[in-house]
Amino acid sequence: QVQLQESGPGLVKPSETLSLTCTISGDSINSNNYYWGWLRQPPGKGLEWIGAIYYTGRTHYNPSLNSRVTISRDTSKNQFSLKLTSVSDSETAVYYCARLGYGGNLNWFAPWGQGTLVTVSS
Amino acid sequence: SYELTQPPSVSVSPGQTASITCSGDKLDDKYAYWYQQKSGQSPVLVIYQDTKRPSGIPERFSGSNSGNTATLTISGTQAMDEADYYCQAWDSSTAVFGGGTKLTVL
């Protein structure tokens, strides 16, 4: 059974960099059947896709965040990570990692991690 | 940028059929995906590629996609189906989500 677990600081100051890691268990980040993605959800609001990474290192990012986002992978640890620079208060959200099905085209997000709340505040 | 529109809320009586719509320009040219999010929990995929159910999802969940509208249908709705539901599609390698629909089972 695949499980994903987010980890990282729960509090980030405005203008600083948000950094999170997702640890995968029950599957390999080197699978050619999946991308690995990050999403977020502000309190009481809807879902927003941040980006995703393939085992080759290829990435796709939300154009609205493209200039501030970096997703990387550590195959030796079966982890992938998110860095979001110059964050603002409005980016306080629950951040999720999720497995993204891929069969030549990007598909579904499943399963999702439990999510981690990141608060942006001074 | 591409947009998906959902009604903010839908109400249904137990045992009845609930329909949640998702509208987007020429949506049937893309695949629609549906996620269920119960209060305080992570989203769960309930429909993928318009009509397919992942293993473990009850048969009462079904999906369709025609023209500009994708629809999630829950037949014989149960109290446990009360949740927020989000549609999602891909537009040029960008995942787009609808704003979500709160399903209330009265």
pLDDT tens for A94-115 read 999 999 999 889 999 999 999 9
Q: Which of A63, A107, A109 sits opposite B94 (nearest CB)?
A: A63
For the residues B69-91, what does the mean pLDDT come to?
98
| Closest Cα in chain A to B39 | A44
Distance CA A94, CA B83 (A): 18
B2 at the A interface (CB within 8 A)? no
Looking at every residue in chain A, the average pLDDT score rounds to 97
Phi, psi of A89 (to 5 degrees): -55, -35
**pLDDT at position B67:** 97
Percent of chain A with pLDDT over 70: 100
CA atoms within 13 A on the CB side of B104: 6
Cα→Cα distances B42→A39, B22, B72, B84, Å: 11, 21, 19, 11
- Rounded Cα gap, residues B22 and B87, in angstroms: 6
Nearest to A112 by CA among A38, A53, A59, A30: A38
Is 90 exceeded by the pLDDT of residue B28?
yes
The structure tokens listed for B66 are 């025609």
Distance CA B8, CA B3 (A): 15
pLDDT of residue B43: 98
- Reading phi first (left if > 0) and then psi (alpha if -120 to 50, else beta), residue A24 is in beta
CB A22 within 8 A of CB A113: yes
Q: Residue A84: which pLDDT band, with cuts at 50, 70 and 90?
A: very high
Do A7 and A23 contact (CB within 8 A), yes or no?
A: yes
On the question of pLDDT at A57 being above 90, the answer is yes
Q: For residue A66, is pLDDT > 90? A: no
Taking the CA of residue A94 and the nearest CA in chain B, the distance in Å comes to 10
Question: Cα–Cα–Cα angle for A72, A32, A41, nearest 5°?
Answer: 50
Residues of A in contact with B44 (CB under 8 A): 110-112
- Structure tokens that stand for A50 in this block: 């941040």
Residues 76-95 of B with CB under 8 A from A: 86, 88, 90, 93-95
Q: In this structure, what token pair is assigned to residue B1? A: 């940028």
Are the beta carbons of A47 and B94 separated by less than 8 Å?
A: no
Contacts of A112 in chain B (CB under 8 A): 42-44
Indicate if the pLDDT at residue B49 is higher than 90: yes
